[in-house]
Amino acid sequence: MLVRGKVTGSEIPRFKHRWFGILEVEAEGEKYRLYMTGNVAQWFLSGDEVEIEIISRPKEKEGFKVLDFDDYRLWKFYEGDKIPVWPLFEKEVEAKRYSPLTGELLYTYKIRAREAKYESDFEAIAELEQYHYASQKEKVALWRCENGHIFEANTKQNCPICGAESHILEIKGSTPASRFLILELVEREEYEPRILSYVRVDPPIPLMHRRLPNGKVEKNIREKVFPEEWFHPAFWPERIMRELYEELKRKYGKKRIARSYLWEKAKWKALAETNTAGARIARVVVHPDYRSDGLGQLSVKSALDWIAERRIPEMRKRKHIVETIAQMARYNPFFEKVGFKFLWETASGRPVLFYPLTEEAREYIERFLKEDPYAPEDGRLWRPSYGRVEPLKGPIVFKNVSKVFESELDIKGLPEEIQELLKAFGVRHRVIQRPVLRNLNFEIKPGELIAVVGASGAGKTTLLRLILGSANGWWEERFRPTSGEIDVPENAKVSVMIPGEFEPSFGSESILEHVYRKIKDLNAAVEVLNRAGLSDAVLYRAKYSELSTGQKERAKIASLLAEKPNLLLIDEFSAHLDTLTAMRVAKKVAEIIREAGITALIITHRPEVLKALDPDKVLFVGYGTAKLEAHRKSKKAEPSQ
């Protein structure tokens, strides 16, 4: 049954305002109470025209017909347009996970993108939010216990004051105008999280100025590029609060005024006034275990559909444009991959990106990019910044190289009676010689990625030491061949990791500081950390000692890459990483090595790592010999010069 009517009021309980609210509608002589989320109910004004489709028979209560969450559908009319409101936006999407070694499809996640609706959704959002904050000390949500105590915490817990059960009150940093879209796993294993990511959508910010390259600030830049009414009136309770305050001061003199009362009033007035043709993506947070699977892009795409279809957040004017102000966009291009264009920096230097939802908006953006003297080329912000290294000037050549280990058997230090016995047998002093590498001849070309394999004790590490010694001109015994010659080009800049012998030392600085100090470019530092598999901002600020064994190994690889070597020697690559992480890191490290033109010898004993590295050649070391064989089949990632 369909009925048409008008909104007569709403009721939003203060302490569960996000996930519960009631909309009152008069339609065809009947009074309805529609149960919905407060996040939706709060945007309705008395007099708004609506249409209700009644699915289940309403319950009669105090003269009202009450419709619960699943009992109805609702549309609202705005200037002749019919906007779907309830049930909330929901869409099934798929995300694919590919094998890091073969590129084959491993499996497909079934995901539901939907607006947050239940208390448990907001609890899950708080849990995800803690991965977004740079500081682990900061608490991300406010909670309220049944006795009214309010406290801060990251996850649901009992009240620290009285021990009673608590309910989430607010996600810190969100505004009353914020709405939340979540990506939920449809089918999941026990160990998988229910919610993989969330996107927070707000109205556009009320004011935006841009900073020009000469440092000057150009005011209200959006209004010079797009129609003014696209961004106004925005949600701006602070301005309304100031006005109310001034008004009360004029009326009552300098008496004290309750700020919380004013804030509440300003909030409702601002919600009623907001009516823009834009939206702002204020947050995108993906569960750290799922960051490499394209879920960031998928979350943003789903949010764009939601904004366009439902006119999120305020459900009034048609939406033309979506803005986002994100420092992170400098380091991770996922907004650009979705189709956002970088137009300028705010007065405080943060990049602003826009996505056109309509053809009209696309034209405004294109015109700006073409005509504005300061517009960034093609609206691009992110660029790979690791760059290329100066390649080795020639090959590394082994000519008849042998390495013999000598050890002395000495009876000194043994108990006297045993010395006497050994002397009686004629054993006083003996030299033991053990050949490790015998008469090696091979050549490694500049830019080649070589995987070194062989049994333990076969001489792999010795081989790396000899190359290191030749590159650095070291004359200590263990860095020199016993006979033969190793040529390493004079421009070699070596970075080496041999556990227990040569390892980056971190001290007490944060991982990001460490890498930045070495590479001296912040973008490149973040790029190196991401490629090494440390893509979580919480890890950037962690100290080395706070990392897990596997994270430490990744940090060491990042540290080596940050030295920008043209010759990289790594012993026992990824020994402490689980299989999937090891393959992921191997693939990314191989990518950066190839793109940068680094010559690399990497020892591994793991077949899956060997496959993921996809080396140009494999050097088999064993029984004193070493054999170099071509390996690489795919040439797709070859750097283009």
Asked whether position 147 contacts Zn ion by CB under 5 A, the answer is yes
Applying CB under 5 A, which of residues 105, 106, 162, 409 lies at the interface with Zn ion?
Answer: 162
Q: Using alpha carbons, select from 165, 170, 125 the residue that is nearest to residue 152.
A: 170
CB 96 → Zn ion: shortest distance, Å?
Answer: 46
The token pair at 475 is: 């004359």
CB 193 → Zn ion: shortest distance, Å?
Answer: 28
Q: Which residues 279-338 are close enough to bind Zn ion by CB under 5 A?
A: none
Q: Which residues 500-559 are close enough to bind Zn ion by CB under 5 A?
A: none
Return all residues near 333 (Cβ < 8 A) that are at least 6 apart.
381, 382
Asked whether position 157 contacts Zn ion by CB under 5 A, the answer is no
By three-state DSSP, how is residue 25 classified? strand
Of 146-154, 233-241, 279-287, 433-441: span binding Zn ion (CB under 5 A): 146-154
CB 150 → Zn ion: shortest distance, Å?
Answer: 9
CB 127 → Zn ion: shortest distance, Å?
Answer: 21
Asked whether position 159 contacts Zn ion by CB under 5 A, the answer is yes
Q: Using alpha carbons, select from 281, 308, 303, 297 the residue that is nearest to residue 202.
A: 281
148 vs 457, beta carbon nearer Zn ion: 148
CB 280 → Zn ion: shortest distance, Å?
Answer: 35
Q: Do residues 317 and 275 touch, judged by C-beta distance below 8 A?
A: yes
Applying CB under 5 A, which of residues 25, 145, 512, 590 lies at the interface with Zn ion?
Answer: 145
45 vs 162, beta carbon nearer Zn ion: 162
167 vs 239, beta carbon nearer Zn ion: 167
The rounded distance, in Å, linking the Cα atoms of 474 and 488 is 12
Phi then psi dihedrals of residue 294, to 5 deg: 75, 15
CB 162 → Zn ion: shortest distance, Å?
Answer: 3
Of 56-64, 139-147, 264-272, 371-379: span binding Zn ion (CB under 5 A): 139-147
CB 230 → Zn ion: shortest distance, Å?
Answer: 45
159 vs 182, beta carbon nearer Zn ion: 159
Q: What is the DSSP letter of 543?
A: B
CB 168 → Zn ion: shortest distance, Å?
Answer: 14
Of 155-163, 178-186, 253-261, 616-624: span binding Zn ion (CB under 5 A): 155-163
Q: Using alpha carbons, select from 188, 69, 200, 189 the residue that is nearest to residue 122.
A: 200
The token pair at 444 is: 């490694």
161 vs 414, beta carbon nearer Zn ion: 161
CB 169 → Zn ion: shortest distance, Å?
Answer: 12
166 vs 530, beta carbon nearer Zn ion: 166
13 vs 160, beta carbon nearer Zn ion: 160
Applying CB under 5 A, which of residues 149, 167, 239, 543 lies at the interface with Zn ion?
Answer: 149
Of 137-145, 347-355, 455-463, 556-564: span binding Zn ion (CB under 5 A): 137-145
Q: Do residues 516 and 271 touch, judged by C-beta distance below 8 A?
A: no
Return all residues near 357 (Cβ < 8 A) that are at least 6 apart.
304, 307, 308, 319, 320, 321, 322
Ramachandran assignment for 500, one of left (phi > 0), alpha (psi -120 to 50 degrees), beta (any other)? left
Contact track, Zn ion, 198-227, x by CB under 5 A: ------------------------------
Distances (CA, A) of 441 to 179, 438, 454, 625, 626: 66, 9, 17, 9, 8
160 vs 384, beta carbon nearer Zn ion: 160
Q: What is the DSSP string of 540-563?
A: HTSBGGGS-HHHHHHHHHHHHHHT
Q: Do residues 152 and 142 touch, judged by C-beta distance below 8 A?
A: yes
45 vs 161, beta carbon nearer Zn ion: 161
Phi then psi dihedrals of residue 343, to 5 deg: -110, -40
The rounded distance, in Å, linking the Cα atoms of 191 and 576 is 22
Asked whether position 169 contacts Zn ion by CB under 5 A, the answer is no
Distances (CA, A) of 381 to 274, 302, 372: 30, 22, 16
Asked whether position 167 contacts Zn ion by CB under 5 A, the answer is no
Of 151-159, 278-286, 479-487, 500-508: span binding Zn ion (CB under 5 A): 151-159
150 vs 207, beta carbon nearer Zn ion: 150
Q: How many positions of this chain bind Zn ion (CB under 5 A)?
A: 7
Per the listing, tokens 């990289």 go with 568
Q: What angle do CA 135, 292, 136 make, to 5 degrees?
A: 10
CB 142 → Zn ion: shortest distance, Å?
Answer: 13
CB 158 → Zn ion: shortest distance, Å?
Answer: 8
Q: Do residues 35 and 22 touch, judged by C-beta distance below 8 A?
A: yes
Of 120-128, 156-164, 336-344, 363-371: span binding Zn ion (CB under 5 A): 156-164
112 vs 139, beta carbon nearer Zn ion: 139
CB 15 → Zn ion: shortest distance, Å?
Answer: 13
CA 430 to chain centroid, in Å, comes to 61
CB 159 → Zn ion: shortest distance, Å?
Answer: 3
CA dihedral 589, 593, 595, 599 (to 10 degrees): -170
Asked whether position 15 contacts Zn ion by CB under 5 A, the answer is no
149 vs 239, beta carbon nearer Zn ion: 149
CB 119 → Zn ion: shortest distance, Å?
Answer: 17
Of 19-27, 123-131, 144-152, 320-328: span binding Zn ion (CB under 5 A): 144-152
CB 46 → Zn ion: shortest distance, Å?
Answer: 36
159 vs 492, beta carbon nearer Zn ion: 159
Q: Do residues 476 and 469 touch, judged by C-beta distance below 8 A?
A: yes
The rounded distance, in Å, linking the Cα atoms of 10 and 92 is 31
Long-range contacts of 355-364 (CB under 8 A, 24+ apart): 355/304, 355/321, 355/322, 355/323, 355/324, 356/320, 356/321, 357/304, 357/307, 357/308, 357/319, 357/320, 357/321, 357/322, 358/318, 358/320, 358/321, 360/320, 361/226, 361/320, 361/321, 364/225, 364/226
Of 33-41, 157-165, 249-257, 627-635: span binding Zn ion (CB under 5 A): 157-165
Q: Do residues 576 and 543 touch, judged by C-beta distance below 8 A?
A: no
Asked whether position 161 contacts Zn ion by CB under 5 A, the answer is yes
Of 142-150, 457-465, 519-527, 597-605: span binding Zn ion (CB under 5 A): 142-150
The rounded distance, in Å, linking the Cα atoms of 509 and 498 is 22
Q: What angle do CA 25, 29, 34 make, to 5 degrees?
A: 25
2 vs 161, beta carbon nearer Zn ion: 161
Q: Provide the binding-site residues for Zn ion, judged by CB under 5 A.
A: 145, 147, 149, 159, 161-162, 164
